[in-house]
Structure 1
Amino acid sequence: MKFFTRPIKPEDTADEALLNSYHKNRDLAVLGKLYEKYMPLVYGVGLKYLKDEEAAQDAVMAIFEELAQKVHQHEIKQFRSWLYVLSRNYCLMQLRAGKKMETVTLDEFMEFTPVLHPDTENREEAMQALERCMDKLTSAQKESVKLFYLDEKCYKEVADITGFTMNEVKSYIQNGKRNLKICLEKNSE
Structure 2
Amino acid sequence: MKFLKFFQGKVNEPVPEAERLAEYRRRGDVALLGGLYEPYMDMVFGVCFKYLRDEEECKDAVMQIFEKLVLDLRQHEVSNFKSWLHSVARNHCLMKLRMARATAGQEEADEQAQELEVEADIGDDAFMLNGQLDALDECLQKLTNEQRLSIELFYLQDKCYRDIAGQTGFDIGRVKSYIQNGKRKLKICIESNGSY
TM-score by length of 1: 0.47
Larger Rg: 1
TM-score by length of 2: 0.45
